[in-house]
């Protein structure tokens, strides 16, 4: 029995090459969860084969700017001329339905989310050490050395921000990291501060 009924907004960040995708996949493959992805909103054009509301919510630049104005974006950023962001109302509907909503974004986006929704749970996925991240980026073999060096420089500044997250999960082994995230979700649901509604019912029951 959980004392709260609302889902959690789980924000996952981590440097490129840390294995976020693999951890996320391991997490979603578990049966004992009710995790869903948050679908982003974007102003980029819809491509053949894409469906509005599946890959993204597609919208106009005018509407997107209007949503920013109205405070209806938990976070947003501009990327090569297009806006991308997380619609607050869609996320809140999912949370109220009891789903845990997973948002994979960078450190700048995570900071925006925490400001707008302080109850969000921020998890930073860190490599065990520098060497392991370098090894992973090299092993991928998909990028040239310049790009790898750029990613490592970015990782350095991202890791400097990790302390502002609620949790730091070291990805030493994918299943361990996924276990730890599941534990964080379970523990967060037991937090006294999240259980006020149901807790008050319990107190009433004892009157």
When binding is defined by CB under 8 A, the residue of 165, 174, 175, 178 that contacts a second copy is 165
* Residue 36 binds a second copy, judged by CB under 8 A: no
Q: For residue 91, what are its two tokens? A: 């996320």
Is residue 145 close enough to count as binding a second copy by CB under 8 A? no
Tokens of 48: 């053949």
Contact yes or no for 23/125 (Cβ under 8 A): yes
Of 41-49, 53-61, 96-104, 187-195: span binding a second copy (CB under 8 A): 187-195
Q: Give the integer Cα–Cα distance in Å for 14 and 124.
A: 5
Q: Is 202 in the site for a second copy (CB under 8 A)?
A: yes
- Out of 36, 77, 111, 170, name the contact with a second copy by CB under 8 A: 170
Contacting residue, 29, 62, 69, 205, with a second copy by CB under 8 A: 205
Instruction: Please state, in angstroms and rounded to a whole number, the distance separating the CA atoms of residues 91 and 60.
Output: 20
Q: Name the residue nearer to a second copy (CB basis): 82 or 149.
A: 149
172: contact with a second copy by CB under 8 A: yes
Cα separation, 148 vs 159, in Å, equals: 16
Closest CA to 91 of 76, 78, 73: 73
Residue 110 contacts residue 38 (beta carbons within 8 Å): no
Q: Interaction with a second copy in 97-136: which residues (CB under 8 A)?
A: 123-124, 126, 128-130
Task: Identify whether the C-beta of residue 120 lies closer than 8 Å to the C-beta of residue 6.
Answer: no
31 near a second copy, rule: CB under 8 A = no
Rounded CA separation 79/41 (Å): 13
Q: Which residues bind a second copy (CB under 8 A)?
A: 1-3, 123-124, 126, 128-130, 155-156, 159-160, 162-170, 172, 176, 179-180, 182-184, 186-188, 190-192, 195-196, 199, 202-203, 205-207
């Amino acid at each position: 029995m959980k004392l709260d009924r609302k889902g959690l907004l789980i924000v996952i960040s981590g440097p490129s090459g840390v294995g976020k995708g693999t951890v996320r996949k391991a997490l979603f493959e578990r049966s004992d969860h009710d995790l869903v992805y948050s679908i982003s909103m974007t102003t980029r054009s819809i491509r053949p084969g894409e469906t509005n509301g599946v890959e993204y919510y597609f919208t106009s630049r005018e509407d997107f700017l209007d949503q920013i104005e109205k405070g209806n974006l938990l976070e947003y950023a501009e990327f090569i001329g297009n806006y991308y962001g997380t619609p607050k109302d869609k996320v809140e509907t999912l949370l109220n339905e009891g789903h845990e909503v997973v948002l994979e974004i960078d450190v700048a986006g995570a900071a925006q989310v925490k400001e707008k929704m302080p109850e969000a749970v921020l998890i930073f996925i860190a490599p065990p050490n520098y060497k392991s991240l370098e090894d992973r980026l090299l092993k991928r073999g998909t990028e040239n050395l310049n790009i790898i060096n750029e990613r490592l420089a970015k990782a350095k500044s991202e890791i400097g921000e990790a302390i502002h997250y609620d949790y730091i999960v070291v990805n030493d082994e994918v299943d361990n990291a996924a276990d730890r995230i599941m534990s964080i979700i379970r523990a967060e649901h037991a937090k006294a501060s999240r259980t006020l509604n149901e807790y008050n019912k319990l107190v009433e029951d004892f009157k």
